[in-house]
Protein backbone atom coordinates (compact mmCIF):
# COMPACT_ATOMS: atom_id res chain seq x y z
CA UNK A 1 0.00 0.00 0.00
CA UNK A 2 1.54 3.32 -1.07
CA UNK A 3 0.60 6.96 -0.57
CA UNK A 4 2.66 9.84 -1.88
CA UNK A 5 2.85 13.62 -1.92
CA UNK A 6 3.40 15.70 -5.05
CA UNK A 7 6.80 16.45 -3.54
CA UNK A 8 9.46 13.84 -2.86
CA UNK A 9 9.66 11.59 -0.91
CA UNK A 10 7.11 8.78 -1.18
CA UNK A 11 5.40 7.38 1.92
CA UNK A 12 4.45 3.77 2.64
CA UNK A 13 2.52 1.90 5.33
CA UNK A 14 3.62 -1.30 7.03
CA UNK A 15 1.33 -4.27 7.51
CA UNK A 16 -0.24 -4.51 11.00
CA UNK A 17 1.72 -6.46 13.60
CA UNK A 18 1.48 -6.93 17.40
CA UNK A 19 2.22 -3.76 19.34
CA UNK A 20 5.43 -3.99 21.42
CA UNK A 21 4.16 -1.50 24.00
CA UNK A 22 0.50 -2.24 24.72
CA UNK A 23 -0.85 -5.79 24.97
CA UNK A 24 -3.63 -6.83 22.67
CA UNK A 25 -3.15 -4.04 20.14
CA UNK A 26 -1.79 -3.93 16.62
CA UNK A 27 0.71 -1.38 15.36
CA UNK A 28 1.22 0.08 11.92
CA UNK A 29 3.87 2.57 10.75
CA UNK A 30 3.99 5.28 8.13
CA UNK A 31 7.50 5.45 6.70
CA UNK A 32 9.70 6.88 3.98
CA UNK A 33 13.24 6.38 2.72
CA UNK A 34 16.00 8.66 3.98
CA UNK A 35 18.71 9.02 1.33
CA UNK A 36 20.39 11.41 -1.05
CA UNK A 37 21.53 15.01 -0.83
CA UNK A 38 18.43 16.14 1.04
CA UNK A 39 18.53 13.46 3.78
CA UNK A 40 19.54 15.82 6.58
CA UNK A 41 16.95 18.42 5.61
CA UNK A 42 14.22 15.77 5.50
CA UNK A 43 15.28 14.24 8.81
CA UNK A 44 15.31 17.65 10.52
CA UNK A 45 11.85 18.48 9.18
CA UNK A 46 10.10 15.17 9.88
CA UNK A 47 11.67 14.77 13.34
CA UNK A 48 9.78 17.92 14.30
CA UNK A 49 6.60 16.17 13.16
CA UNK A 50 6.92 13.05 15.29
CA UNK A 51 9.04 10.87 12.99
CA UNK A 52 12.01 8.79 14.13
CA UNK A 53 15.01 7.44 12.23
CA UNK A 54 16.01 3.78 11.92
CA UNK A 55 19.05 3.43 9.64
CA UNK A 56 17.93 4.93 6.32
CA UNK A 57 14.21 5.00 7.13
CA UNK A 58 12.04 7.62 8.82
CA UNK A 59 8.86 6.30 10.47
CA UNK A 60 5.94 7.38 12.61
CA UNK A 61 3.21 5.26 14.26
CA UNK A 62 0.02 5.25 12.23
CA UNK A 63 -2.22 2.72 13.90
CA UNK A 64 -5.82 2.25 12.79
CA UNK A 65 -7.61 3.02 16.06
CA UNK A 66 -4.91 4.01 18.55
CA UNK A 67 -2.76 7.12 18.95
CA UNK A 68 -1.02 6.28 22.22
CA UNK A 69 2.55 6.56 20.84
CA UNK A 70 3.64 10.19 21.01
CA UNK A 71 7.05 11.59 20.18
CA UNK A 72 8.64 13.21 23.25
CA UNK A 73 11.33 15.83 23.66
CA UNK A 74 12.88 17.76 26.53
CA UNK A 75 13.04 21.55 26.36
CA UNK A 76 16.66 22.02 27.39
CA UNK A 77 16.49 25.63 28.61
CA UNK A 78 13.64 24.83 31.03
CA UNK A 79 14.81 21.45 32.27
CA UNK A 80 15.49 21.13 36.00
CA UNK A 81 16.68 17.76 37.34
CA UNK A 82 14.75 16.16 40.17
CA UNK A 83 16.39 15.10 43.43
CA UNK A 84 16.59 11.49 42.28
CA UNK A 85 18.11 12.57 38.96
CA UNK A 86 20.75 14.62 40.77
CA UNK A 87 21.59 11.54 42.83
CA UNK A 88 22.01 9.54 39.62
CA UNK A 89 24.41 12.15 38.25
CA UNK A 90 26.48 11.99 41.43
CA UNK A 91 26.41 8.19 41.40
CA UNK A 92 27.88 8.19 37.90
CA UNK A 93 30.52 10.86 38.39
CA UNK A 94 33.22 8.26 37.58
CA UNK A 95 31.87 7.80 34.05
CA UNK A 96 33.84 9.35 31.20
CA UNK A 97 32.21 10.30 27.92
CA UNK A 98 33.68 9.70 24.47
CA UNK A 99 31.93 10.88 21.28
CA UNK A 100 32.94 8.97 18.15
CA UNK A 101 31.90 8.58 14.53
CA UNK A 102 29.14 6.00 13.90
CA UNK A 103 31.39 2.97 13.74
CA UNK A 104 30.52 -0.35 15.39
CA UNK A 105 33.04 -2.09 17.63
CA UNK A 106 33.29 -5.48 19.31
CA UNK A 107 33.03 -3.82 22.75
CA UNK A 108 29.78 -2.19 21.71
CA UNK A 109 28.31 -5.41 20.35
CA UNK A 110 29.31 -7.39 23.44
CA UNK A 111 27.57 -4.84 25.66
CA UNK A 112 24.59 -4.77 23.31
CA UNK A 113 24.19 -8.56 23.57
CA UNK A 114 24.36 -8.50 27.38
CA UNK A 115 21.78 -5.74 27.45
CA UNK A 116 19.36 -7.53 25.12
CA UNK A 117 19.73 -10.89 26.85
CA UNK A 118 18.96 -9.31 30.22
CA UNK A 119 16.33 -6.74 29.28
CA UNK A 120 14.77 -7.64 25.92
CA UNK A 121 15.40 -11.35 25.35
CA UNK A 122 12.10 -11.76 23.50
CA UNK A 123 12.05 -8.42 21.70
CA UNK A 124 12.29 -7.74 18.00
CA UNK A 125 16.05 -7.14 18.16
CA UNK A 126 16.91 -10.25 20.17
CA UNK A 127 18.32 -12.15 17.19
CA UNK A 128 20.49 -9.36 15.79
CA UNK A 129 23.95 -10.58 14.81
CA UNK A 130 27.07 -8.43 14.66
CA UNK A 131 26.50 -7.53 10.99
CA UNK A 132 22.97 -6.31 11.67
CA UNK A 133 24.26 -4.41 14.68
CA UNK A 134 26.93 -2.76 12.54
CA UNK A 135 24.25 -1.76 10.04
CA UNK A 136 22.15 -0.19 12.81
CA UNK A 137 25.13 1.92 13.93
CA UNK A 138 26.81 2.71 10.63
CA UNK A 139 24.01 3.03 8.06
CA UNK A 140 23.17 6.68 8.59
CA UNK A 141 22.90 9.24 5.81
CA UNK A 142 22.96 12.16 8.23
CA UNK A 143 25.19 13.60 10.95
CA UNK A 144 25.28 10.96 13.70
CA UNK A 145 27.51 10.24 16.66
CA UNK A 146 28.09 7.29 18.95
CA UNK A 147 28.32 8.52 22.54
CA UNK A 148 30.20 6.00 24.70
CA UNK A 149 30.31 6.04 28.50
CA UNK A 150 33.28 4.32 30.12
CA UNK A 151 33.52 3.22 33.75
CA UNK A 152 36.85 3.08 35.53
CA UNK A 153 37.78 2.90 39.20
CA UNK A 154 40.89 2.07 41.21
CA UNK A 155 39.45 -1.39 41.83
CA UNK A 156 38.33 -2.19 38.27
CA UNK A 157 39.77 -1.75 34.78
CA UNK A 158 38.21 0.59 32.24
CA UNK A 159 35.05 -0.91 30.73
CA UNK A 160 32.30 0.22 28.40
CA UNK A 161 29.22 0.92 30.53
CA UNK A 162 26.74 2.52 28.12
CA UNK A 163 26.32 3.58 24.50
CA UNK A 164 23.91 5.87 22.68
CA UNK A 165 23.54 6.31 18.92
CA UNK A 166 22.65 9.98 18.55
CA UNK A 167 21.59 12.11 15.59
CA UNK A 168 22.45 15.80 15.48
CA UNK A 169 19.44 17.78 14.24
CA UNK A 170 19.24 21.48 13.46
CA UNK A 171 17.26 22.01 16.69
CA UNK A 172 18.56 19.31 19.00
CA UNK A 173 19.86 15.84 19.66
CA UNK A 174 17.81 12.77 18.78
CA UNK A 175 18.57 9.68 20.86
CA UNK A 176 18.11 6.93 18.28
CA UNK A 177 19.02 3.93 20.43
CA UNK A 178 20.84 3.36 23.72
CA UNK A 179 21.98 0.33 25.68
CA UNK A 180 23.99 -0.21 28.84
CA UNK A 181 25.47 -2.67 31.30
CA UNK A 182 22.52 -4.59 32.81
CA UNK A 183 24.53 -5.80 35.82
CA UNK A 184 24.86 -2.24 37.08
CA UNK A 185 21.15 -1.48 37.39
CA UNK A 186 21.71 0.63 40.51
CA UNK A 187 23.53 3.21 38.40
CA UNK A 188 20.41 3.94 36.31
CA UNK A 189 22.49 4.36 33.17
CA UNK A 190 19.41 4.92 31.00
CA UNK A 191 18.47 8.02 32.97
CA UNK A 192 22.09 9.17 33.14
CA UNK A 193 22.44 9.02 29.35
CA UNK A 194 19.42 11.30 28.92
CA UNK A 195 20.69 13.73 31.57
CA UNK A 196 24.08 13.86 29.90
CA UNK A 197 22.52 14.45 26.47
CA UNK A 198 20.58 17.37 27.92
CA UNK A 199 23.90 18.80 29.10
CA UNK A 200 25.53 18.18 25.69
CA UNK A 201 22.65 19.98 23.97
CA UNK A 202 22.89 22.85 26.45
CA UNK A 203 26.60 23.25 25.77
CA UNK A 204 25.96 23.18 22.00
CA UNK A 205 23.13 25.71 22.18
CA UNK A 206 20.56 23.20 20.93
CA UNK A 207 17.03 23.67 22.33
CA UNK A 208 15.75 20.08 22.43
CA UNK A 209 16.64 16.48 23.21
CA UNK A 210 14.35 14.02 21.41
CA UNK A 211 13.69 10.88 23.49
CA UNK A 212 11.69 8.75 21.07
CA UNK A 213 8.12 7.75 21.84
CA UNK A 214 6.30 8.07 25.13
CA UNK A 215 3.37 5.67 25.48
CA UNK A 216 0.88 6.19 28.32
CA UNK A 217 -0.06 2.84 29.80
CA UNK A 218 3.29 1.24 28.86
CA UNK A 219 5.51 0.53 31.90
CA UNK A 220 8.65 0.35 29.75
CA UNK A 221 8.07 3.92 28.52
CA UNK A 222 6.90 5.46 31.80
CA UNK A 223 10.37 6.76 32.77
CA UNK A 224 10.28 9.46 30.09
CA UNK A 225 7.53 11.29 31.96
CA UNK A 226 9.95 11.75 34.88
CA UNK A 227 11.84 14.47 33.01
CA UNK A 228 10.74 18.05 33.51
CA UNK A 229 10.05 20.40 30.59
CA UNK A 230 8.81 17.44 28.54
CA UNK A 231 6.79 18.04 25.39
CA UNK A 232 4.77 15.51 23.40
CA UNK A 233 3.72 15.67 19.76
CA UNK A 234 -0.05 15.34 19.79
CA UNK A 235 -2.67 16.47 17.31
CA UNK A 236 -0.06 17.88 14.93
CA UNK A 237 1.67 20.12 17.48
CA UNK A 238 4.07 20.01 20.42
CA UNK A 239 2.39 20.36 23.82
CA UNK A 240 3.67 20.47 27.37
CA UNK A 241 3.13 17.20 29.21
CA UNK A 242 1.77 18.71 32.40
CA UNK A 243 -0.02 15.69 33.84
CA UNK A 244 0.98 12.29 32.41
CA UNK A 245 -1.85 10.55 34.26
CA UNK A 246 -4.40 12.66 32.39
CA UNK A 247 -3.30 11.37 28.97
CA UNK A 248 -5.41 8.40 27.93
CA UNK A 249 -4.08 5.33 26.13
CA UNK A 250 -7.57 3.99 25.41
CA UNK A 251 -8.09 3.23 21.70
CA UNK A 252 -10.80 4.92 19.69
CA UNK A 253 -11.90 4.25 16.09
CA UNK A 254 -11.52 7.96 15.25
CA UNK A 255 -8.11 8.40 16.90
CA UNK A 256 -6.26 8.79 13.61
CA UNK A 257 -7.00 10.37 10.25
CA UNK A 258 -6.94 8.15 7.15
CA UNK A 259 -3.44 7.60 5.79
CA UNK A 260 -3.95 9.87 2.78
CA UNK A 261 -4.97 12.74 5.07
CA UNK A 262 -2.00 12.13 7.36
CA UNK A 263 0.39 12.28 4.42
CA UNK A 264 -1.26 15.42 3.05
CA UNK A 265 -0.66 17.19 6.38
CA UNK A 266 3.08 16.46 6.44
CA UNK A 267 5.15 19.61 5.91
CA UNK A 268 8.22 19.17 3.72
CA UNK A 269 11.15 21.55 3.24
CA UNK A 270 10.51 23.93 0.36
CA UNK A 271 13.73 23.02 -1.42
CA UNK A 272 13.02 19.29 -1.77
CA UNK A 273 12.82 18.33 -5.44
CA UNK A 274 9.53 17.53 -7.11
CA UNK A 275 8.79 14.07 -8.48
CA UNK A 276 6.32 12.62 -10.92
CA UNK A 277 3.90 10.22 -9.26
The pLDDT assigned to 233 comes to: 95
Phi, psi angles (nearest 5°) of residue 32 = -150, 160
Is the bond leading into 190 cis (omega within 30 degrees of zero)?
no
Residue in 182, 205, 178 with CA at minimum distance from that of residue 194 = 178
Residue 5 has pLDDT above 70, yes or no: no
Q: Who has greater pLDDT, 132 or 65?
A: 132
pLDDT computed for residue 4 by the predictor: 46
Q: What is the pLDDT of residue 269?
A: 83
Per-residue confidence band for 125, with pLDDT thresholds at 50, 70 and 90: confident
CA distance 36 to 169: 17
The angle that helices 83-91 and 189-204 make with each other, rounded to 10 degrees, is 90
Give pLDDT, residue 120.
74
The model carries a pTM of 0.91
**More confident position, 26 or 153:** 26
Is residue 3 predicted with pLDDT exceeding 70?
no
More confident residue, 238 or 277: 238
First vs last C-alpha separation in the chain: 14
Domains of the chain: 2-70+247-264 (no CATH), 73-244 (3.40.630.30)
Q: Does the pLDDT at position 87 exceed 70?
A: yes
Is the per-residue pLDDT at 6 higher than 50?
Answer: no
**Per-residue pLDDT tens over the stretch 143-193:** 999 999 998 877 777 899 999 999 999 999 999 999 999 988 889 999 999
Q: Mean pLDDT across the chain, nearest whole number?
A: 89
What's the average model confidence in pLDDT over 217-224? 89
102-124 confidence digits (pLDDT tens) = 999 999 999 999 999 888 766 77
CA distance 114 to 180: 8
Amino acid sequence: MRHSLPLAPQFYVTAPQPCPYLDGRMERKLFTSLAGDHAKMLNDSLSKQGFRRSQNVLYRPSCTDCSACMSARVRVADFVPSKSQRRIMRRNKDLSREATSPWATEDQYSLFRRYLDARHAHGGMADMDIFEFAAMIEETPIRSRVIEYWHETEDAPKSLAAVCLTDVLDDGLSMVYSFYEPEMARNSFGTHIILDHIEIAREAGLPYVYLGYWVPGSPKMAYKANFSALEIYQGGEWRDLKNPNAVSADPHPLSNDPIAEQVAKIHLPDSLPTTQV
